[in-house]
A and B are shown apart, each in its own frame.
Chain A
Amino acid sequence: MHQGKEKIAIIDYGMGNICSVQKACAFLGYEGVLVEEPEKLMTATKAILPGVGAFGDAMAVLDEKGFTGAIKEYVAQGRPFFGICLGMQLMFAGSTEGLTEVSSTPATSAASTPAASALSAPASASLTIEAPPHKGLGFFPGIIRRFPTDAGVKIPHIGWNLVEHKPDSALFAGLPSQFNAYFVHSYFAGDTQAHYAAGLCSHGLEFLAAVEEGNLWAAQFHPEKSGDLGIRLLYNFLRRNPYAD
């Protein structure tokens, strides 16, 4: 009964390619509305937080635009919320982005220019671990960390990788128990044993490919870029009953 042209709020805070999410919604018969003002989120029945880029920058924009409070209020009301990629990471307590990882060795490719090191290159040794991590939305307790450079894998984690999910997951309903999804990221959530872990993936180490708890769903991969199976997963969210949780 909620099919057809139900409007889906896509939070537009200037981080990355949100157009693909909107077009995937349209393909599935839903209207994805780009929401640039937090007030508009309050009338939505479903919301998607997409995003690609840096955690700290993204939280700064959400704070500045007043989205942080609005998202928390929206979520507290039990309405369906779906984070994608950086959007998923922002749902955690925080991120060590830009800080030195204790477990990793300095990469040989460490950036020599300040600009490059600020964006994606391995953290330089001059940064210390004592600095507090960036604070996230805090729906899940974990901390987002960078893939270690000494695990023998390339970073960013770009490409199709196998996702295994819990059999009773609503997010993965109707999908094969394992399938390849498209990932693009350098940071990950590692609390793979948590009760909200819905899907796992491995890239040098095991990490959370998806989380699920009540009205909160999220995927580290891009369902809107993961072919037919990804589109089916997105549809699982779009067709959720907004009043069920």
Chain B
Amino acid sequence: MLTKRIIPCLDVQKGRVVKGIKFQELRDAGDPVEAAKFYNEAGADELMFLDIDASHEGRSTMLEVVARTAQQVFIPFSVGGGISSIDQIKDLLRLGADKVSINSSALRNPDFIIDAAMHFGSQCIVVAIDVKKQAAGNWQVYLNGGRISTGRDAVEWALEAEKRGAGEILLTSMDADGVGQGYDLAITRQIADAVNIPVIASGGAGSLKDFSEAVTEGHADAMLAATLFHFRQLEIRQVKEYLQGLGIPVRMDCYQ
């Protein structure tokens, strides 16, 4: 049975981790590769780098981060942020990234998902979807880190992304993100039940219970978290032991 994955997310700007990482063990806590190694040893099942800079200069430093990570970390990792061309994906995969996450570029040009999946296979194309709950009770998709509403229905867009060749959906609730009061279980469940590809829940993890509920209530296949792990409010192992105690399959042999 597939285990539920725990995915720490690292926000990277100009080759440095931002949003702060409080690891005293690390010689250089701002180095994304040091952080990646730390999380690998802590039992992360996968890693996500989010390039929040996405300038030309930022991109080349990201490539360097990818290359160095791939030399030392042997678990899957994804890169997202400002990816809008086949060449960019080619560079990232070539240097050792396993997947790329595309967001705004997919919304602006949905055929980009098809192109990317045709070139590299669906398995390495993650479509990231940022959603906000509307007064009417549905969820809409937002662009540019939640600044621009597309007016598109979240479930409908997830289904379209799947149809166009997305291999996974990374679903972030803009309402829940950074609040630490739990993932948005309702929309996670709606999307996880609607598509037949894995769904990664993101935004809002604040306690152990949030992780289990993402699985039991939200039907998520994987859970992404940033702040919670960076500030060591919870250790990955703690989360996994908690899930295991509830009978949720997790990868524990990384601690042997």
Instruction: State the A residues within 8 Å of B (CB).
Output: 16-17, 19-20, 23-24, 26-27, 52-54, 107-109, 111-113, 115-116, 118-121, 149, 153-162, 176, 179-180, 182, 184-186, 202-203, 222, 224-231
Those of B18-44 within 8 Å (CB) of chain A? 40
9 contacts between A and B (CB under 8 A): A17-B124, A19-B95, A154-B196, A156-B198, A159-B198, A176-B253, A180-B253, A228-B254, A230-B74
Which residues of B have CB within 8 Å of A224?
A: 74
What is the chain B residue whose CB lies nearest that of A234?
B74
Q: How far is the CB of A123 from chain B (nearest CB, A)?
A: 14
What is the chain B residue whose CB lies nearest that of A162?
B1
Q: A26-B71, A119-B122, A226-B74 are in contact. Are A159 and B45 (CB under 8 A)?
A: yes
A20-B70 in contact (CB<8A):
yes
User: What 9 A-B pairs have minimum CB-CB distances, sorted nearest first?
Assistant: A120-B122, A180-B251, A184-B123, A160-B251, A53-B121, A179-B253, A160-B3, A159-B2, A115-B114
Q: How far is the CB of B124 from chain A (nearest CB, A)?
A: 7
Which residues of B have CB within 8 Å of A158?
A: 2, 123, 167-168, 198, 221
Which residues of B have CB within 8 Å of A118?
A: 118
Q: How far is the CB of A112 from chain B (nearest CB, A)?
A: 6
Q: Cα distance A20–B221 when bound, in Å?
A: 24
Q: Cα distance A113–B40 when bound, in Å?
A: 39
Which residues of A have CB within 8 Å of B197?
A: 154-156
Q: Given B114, B159, B222, which contacts A113 in the complex, CB threshold below 8 Å?
A: B114
A52-B121 in contact (CB<8A):
yes
A17-B163 in contact (CB<8A):
no
Q: Cα distance A153–B1 when bound, in Å?
A: 10
B121-A109 in contact (CB<8A):
no
Q: A155-B197, A158-B198, A160-B3 are in contact. Are A116 and B75 (CB under 8 A)?
A: no
- Tell me whether B164 is interfacial, beta carbon within 8 Å: yes
Which residues of B have CB within 8 Å of A112?
A: 163
Q: Given B1, B98, B114, which contacts A20 in the complex, CB threshold below 8 Å?
A: B98
- Contact mask B110-123 → A, CB, 8 Å, 1/0? 00001001101111
Those of B30-82 within 8 Å (CB) of chain A? 40, 45, 70-72, 74-76
What is the chain B residue whose CB lies nearest that of A159?
B2
Q: How far is the CB of B2 from chain A (nearest CB, A)?
A: 5
Q: Cα distance A228–B40 when bound, in Å?
A: 10
A113-B74 in contact (CB<8A):
no
Which residues of B have CB within 8 Å of A226?
A: 74-75
Q: How far is the CB of B24 from chain A (nearest CB, A)?
A: 24
Q: How far is the CB of B155 from chain A (nearest CB, A)?
A: 13
- Contact mask B146-175 → A, CB, 8 Å, 1/0? 000000000000010011110110000000
A160-B5 in contact (CB<8A):
yes
Q: Cα distance A230–B253 when bound, in Å?
A: 11
- Tell me whether B208 is interfacial, beta carbon within 8 Å: no
Q: How far is the CB of A122 from chain B (nearest CB, A)?
A: 9
Q: Most B CB atoms within 10 A — which of A160, A184, A228?
A: A160
Q: A19-B96, A161-B2, A180-B251 are in contact. Are A156 and B167 (CB under 8 A)?
A: yes
What is the chain A residue whose CB lies nearest that of B43?
A227
- Tell me whether B228 is interfacial, beta carbon within 8 Å: no
- Tell me whether B256 is interfacial, beta carbon within 8 Å: yes
- Tell me whether B239 is interfacial, beta carbon within 8 Å: no
A182-B75 in contact (CB<8A):
yes
Which residues of B have CB within 8 Å of A109?
A: 159, 162-163, 195-196
Knowing that A120-B117, A156-B167 are A-B contacts, what are 11 other residue pairs whose CB atoms are under 8 Å apart, sorted by A's residue number?
A: A16-B93, A17-B93, A17-B94, A19-B95, A27-B71, A115-B118, A154-B197, A155-B196, A157-B2, A160-B3, A186-B122
Which residues of B have CB within 8 Å of A230?
A: 74
Q: A20-B98, A116-B165, A180-B251 are in contact. Are A202 and B117 (CB under 8 A)?
A: no
Q: How far is the CB of B19 from chain A (nearest CB, A)?
A: 26
A160-B163 in contact (CB<8A):
no
What is the chain B residue whose CB lies nearest that of A118?
B118
Q: Given B40, B165, B198, which contacts A119 in the complex, CB threshold below 8 Å?
A: B165
Which residues of A have CB within 8 Å of B165?
A: 111, 115-116, 119-121
Q: Cα distance A155–B221 when bound, in Å?
A: 12
What is the chain B residue whose CB lies nearest that of A19?
B96
A107-B71 in contact (CB<8A):
no
Q: Cα distance A119–B119 when bound, in Å?
A: 10
Q: Cα distance A109–B159 when bound, in Å?
A: 8
Q: How far is the CB of A171 from chain B (nearest CB, A)?
A: 17
